[in-house]
Amino acid sequence: MTTINLELSVHTSKEGDIVDITDQVSRSIAESGLRNGIATIFVKGSTAALTTIEYEPGLLKDFHDMLDRLMPRELGYEHEKRWRDGNGHSHVRASLIGPDLTIPFSNGELSLGIWQRIALVELDTRSRNRNFALSIIGEQ
């Protein structure tokens, strides 16, 4: 069993960006030379999250609308009262979605559904450079 640890990054431009990182992860697996195993992805930061999604405009909008319904910006977040930084909702949303994913791969290919993509979700109120750790664990 071999483990390869990488750090990758992506730039987001605003709150609500959903960035498809599938190709970055796939490339890293291909370059690793490993054929079968798992890829674990972890975003560093408490106001971003990772998920899988069908990456099409209607569903991307639906995802944002769902977040607005479940965790509206205007609620009285305790984080807001303490820090006054405008991103209490961002922290709650990131906690609910989660910072990590583990995806199996076989024959060097991610085991994703035909329309399924890996997405980094920017939940903070400003643009960010997001770093994420990628651990590729497998065999040749």
From 20, 21, 52, select the one nearest 133 (Cα to Cα).
21
> Which one has a higher pLDDT value, 84 or 55?
55
Looking at residue 97, its pLDDT comes to 98
Q: Measure CA of the first residue to CA of the last residue in the chain; give whole Å.
A: 8
DSSP codes of every residue in 14-64: STT-EEE-HHHHHHHHHHHT--EEEEEEEE-STTEEEEEEE--HHHHHHHH
Looking at residue 129, its pLDDT comes to 97
Entry pTM: 0.94
Give 84's pLDDT tier (boundaries 50, 70, 90): confident
Domain coverage including residue 39: 2-139
Q: What is the pLDDT of residues 27-42, one digit of tens each?
A: 999 999 999 999 999 9
Residue 82, domain CATH? 2.60.120.460
From 65, 22, 34, 47, select the one nearest 129 (Cα to Cα).
47
Domain count along the chain:
1
At 76, list the tokens: 């009285």
Q: What is the pLDDT of residues 70-81, one digit of tens each?
A: 999 888 888 877
